[in-house]
Structures are given as C-alpha cells and as structure tokens.
Amino acid sequence: MIKGVIIKKLNKYEDNRGWLTEVFRRDELEFDPAMGYVSLTNPGIIRGPHEHVAQSDCFIFLGPGSFQMYLWDRRENSETKGEAMDFEVGIGSPTLVTVPPGVVHGYKCISDIPALSINLPDKLYKGEGKKEEIDEIRWEIDPNSPYKIS
C-alpha cells in the first residue's frame, strides 16, 4: 500500500429493482469534495499518468466496464516513496480510491466496453471561476517519464 492512498471496496445492494451502492459517507471517509465529474473511457484508452501538487482525487469506479488503476508514490517525505501498485477496479470490483497530492496516478480501460468513472476532487478545476493554472504534472506527455501504463 502507498501511504495516504485509500482503497475502499464498495458494496452493491441488489434486489429485483436493480442495485444501489453508497459511494461516499463523511462518517466513513474524511474528504471534502469541491466538485464532481463523470468520465467515460473507451476500451484500451489510457488516462494519465499525472499528479497534482495540491489536489486530492476521490475516484469511484462502479461500472459499466473495468479499469486497471496505477499509482506511484513520488512524495519526498513519504514512508512509501518509490512504491508502485496497480489493481483492477470497476464492474467486477466496485472501488473508491482517494489519491493524495504527489502520488502519480492513471488508469486504462481494460474492458471490451466503455467504462465510467466518477471523480470528486477536493479542489476546483482551474480554481474559482476557472481563472487559475491547472494543478497537474502531465507525465503522459513526457517521453522520458518513468511512469508508464501499457
């Protein structure tokens, strides 16, 4: 495990009407979302890897579809600096993943169908009124990046 990353398996409660999943409860997870968005990723497509300087992400992977999630800890003062991990999330493994600043992250759609993800970051994209610089270090555009998703 990478220190500060939270991986929470989500439960689906199913009956003849369908299913329900609690994705966030403030009494179970100390996190203060500033916004939320939904993303659809086509099969074989990679998002990231990138990292944030100040922002934490709170991803929710429920399906449809599945992803392979990748994390690398590059924080100087972290007990787990240099650690990497990857794991499957999505329809077969509904999961919430919080990623703190300084942890490089990305994911790849590994299903034969498009996959949905939800993100509830704790900072506004481009700040109030979208007037600030984007808080991202885009490792995926660096040809010498040590962070690769294949």
123-145 residue pLDDT tens: 999 999 999 999 999 999 999 99
Helix (H) or strand (E) run with residue 8 in it: strand 6-9
Whether 95 contacts 8, CB under 8 Å:
yes
Q: What pLDDT does residue 147 have?
A: 97
Name residues whose C-beta falls within 8 Å of residue 26's C-beta, 6 or more positions apart in sequence: none
**What b/e string do you get for 80-112 counting C-beta neighbours within 10 Å, with b at 16 or more?**
beebeeeebbbbebbbbbbbbbbbbbbbbbebe
Task: For the chain, list residues with pLDDT below 50.
Answer: none
Kindly report the pTM of this predicted structure.
0.94
**DSSP for 110-122, written as a single string:** -SSS-EEEEE--S
Q: Position 114: which residue type?
A: P
Domains assigned to the chain:
6-125+134-141 (2.60.120.10)
